Amino acid sequence: MVSLFVLSAPLAPAALVLGQWDANNRTSTGTFLGATSGTNAASGSAAGYGQSNPPATFSSVVITGTPTDPGTDLSGTTYNLAYTVNPPLTSAANKSIGMSFKVPTTGMAAGEAVKLSWSQTVGFRSSRYWQLLATTDGTNFSPVPVGVGSSISTTVNGFSGTSAPFTLISGTANVTVSSTGLIDFRTIGLNSLSPSSTTAVALDPYDVSFVNNIQFTLPTGQGFENNANFGFAIVGAFDPNYVGSLGTEGLLSSVAGTNSLDATNGYNRSVGSGGSMRLDMVTVSAVPEPGSLSILATGVAILVAFRRRNHCCPKSHS
């Protein structure tokens, strides 16, 4: 009798969303009402890091978010918003200005890791580099320990120009998150984030160069799991090859990769205006530890190879 074995790899459990911010619950400038969904959303919060709350005026101008946002642009009282963040001035210290998010990671199962994911876009005079920071006490932030980052290359739509009428542009935006949490964001052309909706006129649903589902998975055993005081931040960072204390030459623009000495395409935050960054769909999830998934996949591959070998090459009997 011949037995037939059907072997299938087990599916990875779905991620448990602990907190997610879509920015749609903002009601006025400087107002943060916490995370909008997730098992621990009620205890979530968002705020400016190293600066006052990032601006996002609501009464007359609606800063739209990524099309993946569940909110609807200018439909009654439901809006599709994003957090707008002022990058650091050229006089700011490295990794000192950005935005922070806090949510408890309680309720995680054994063997799970904390994964961060978000949608992001930057203006052409915004910073090319951003750094992930994390906290285990809710107060003191530091660069994340070595984890698992992501690399995304995607076609996006945006606008060029610094004043109306804007020109529609499209191209490829590239985002790489290193194992140390350094975010390298290269936008398309002279991407401008200025176009926005008003309470009377809706903006066409262009994604304004949002890159979606950027990810970083934190290592386990560092105090991030089941922590009531967990939080992380995304802050402007210097060129990793720059040696110095000020951003005049350390901060690079996202389009040309040049510093503030380039008056045309370089970093332009020597004063209070110039460049911006937006965040949407910021999510903290509990996922299976990457290392355990790798071991599981390897074990399945070995078992599949073993069964195929026995099936294809049966032993001979005398």
**Among residues 23, 74, 70, 71, which one has the least CA distance to residue 203?**
74
pLDDT of residue 297: 40
Q: Which residue has the higher pLDDT, 208 or 133?
A: 133
Q: Which residue has the higher pLDDT, 212 or 64?
A: 212
pLDDT of residue 24: 83
pLDDT of residue 313: 52
* Residue entry with tokens 């005398």: 318
CA 157 to chain centre: 18
Contact residues for 156 (Cβ-Cβ < 8 A; gap 6+) = 121, 170, 171, 172, 173, 188, 207, 208, 209, 210, 211
Contact residues for 244 (Cβ-Cβ < 8 A; gap 6+) = 238, 250
| Rounded mean pLDDT, 229-245 | 95
Is the Cβ–Cβ distance between 251 and 131 less than 8 Å? no
Cα–Cα distance measured from residue 231 to residue 105, given in angstroms and rounded to the nearest whole number = 9
pLDDT at 97 over 50: yes
What is the pLDDT of the chain when averaged over all its residues? 83
Domain boundaries, the chain: 16-312
